[in-house]
A and B are shown apart, each in its own frame.
Chain A
C-alpha cells in the first residue's frame, strides 16, 4: 500500500484525494502512507555499507 501511494503521488501525479478515493482510505491515512513509504524508500536505498541496522 505504501508503494502504491508513493507511485501514484510521485510518479503519476495523482492528488491525495484521488488516491484516497481509489484506495478507499482517508486523506490523512494516504498522507501517512506516503510519508512512511518515502521513509522506507530512503532507508532501502541507502548503500549497504552505510546502513545503520
Chain B
C-alpha cells in the first residue's frame, strides 16, 4: 500500500474502528454496533454519529439522485422505443464520473463528465445502446481510428477536453 502524505493529517483512531466495522460488513458478517460502542467509550459519541450518517445515506439513496433538470431534455426525448432516458444516479465509467447529458443524436449521446484521477472536466461521447453504451461499444465508433493513437493529441479517440 502506497503511503501518500495523509490528506487527513493525523490518523484518527475512529477511522480504525470504522474500518473494522465496514470490513466485517463487507465480509458478510453482522458486526455488533453496541459491542463496538462499548469497547470504545471515549469515541462512542462520534461513532454513533457515523452510524447515523451511514444509515441515512444508505436508507435514502433516492435523495441523492441527479435532479431531473441536470439531465437536459433527456426526460422528454424518446428514441428507438426505449422510452425516456435519464441518468438514474451518479454513475462512473471507469475513471469518469458522468455528470449530465449535453446532447443526443440519432446514434450517440454526449455526457458532461469529470475525469476523477485528474479532476478535470471532459465530454464523453457514447453510442446509444439501451440506456447507455458500454466502453467496449465506444471503441466501435465508426470513422474513429483506434489503432494509431499517435495521430491524436487527446488520450482517447472518444474523449474530448471540454474546454
Binding site for B on A (CB under 8 A): 1, 4, 6-12, 15-16, 20, 24-29, 31-36, 38-39, 41-42, 45
Q: How far is the CA of A6 from the CA of B97 in the complex (A)?
A: 13
Q: How far is the CA of A6 from the CA of B63 in the complex (A)?
A: 14
Binding site for A on B (CB under 8 A): 1-4, 6-8, 11-12, 14-16, 18-19, 22-23, 26, 49-50, 53-54, 56-58, 61, 63-64, 89-90, 92, 97, 116
In the complex, chain A residues whose CB is within 8 Å of the CB of B90: 7, 11
Q: How far is the CA of A3 from the CA of B83 in the complex (A)?
A: 31
Find out whether the CB atom of A24 lies under 8 angstroms from the CB atom of B4: yes
**Can you pick out 9 interface pairs between chain A and chain B where the beta carbons lie within 8 Å of each other?**
A6-B57, A16-B23, A25-B4, A26-B1, A31-B19, A33-B8, A35-B18, A39-B53, A41-B64
Find out whether the CB atom of B49 lies under 8 angstroms from the CB atom of A20: no
In the complex, chain A residues whose CB is within 8 Å of the CB of B8: 29, 32-33, 36
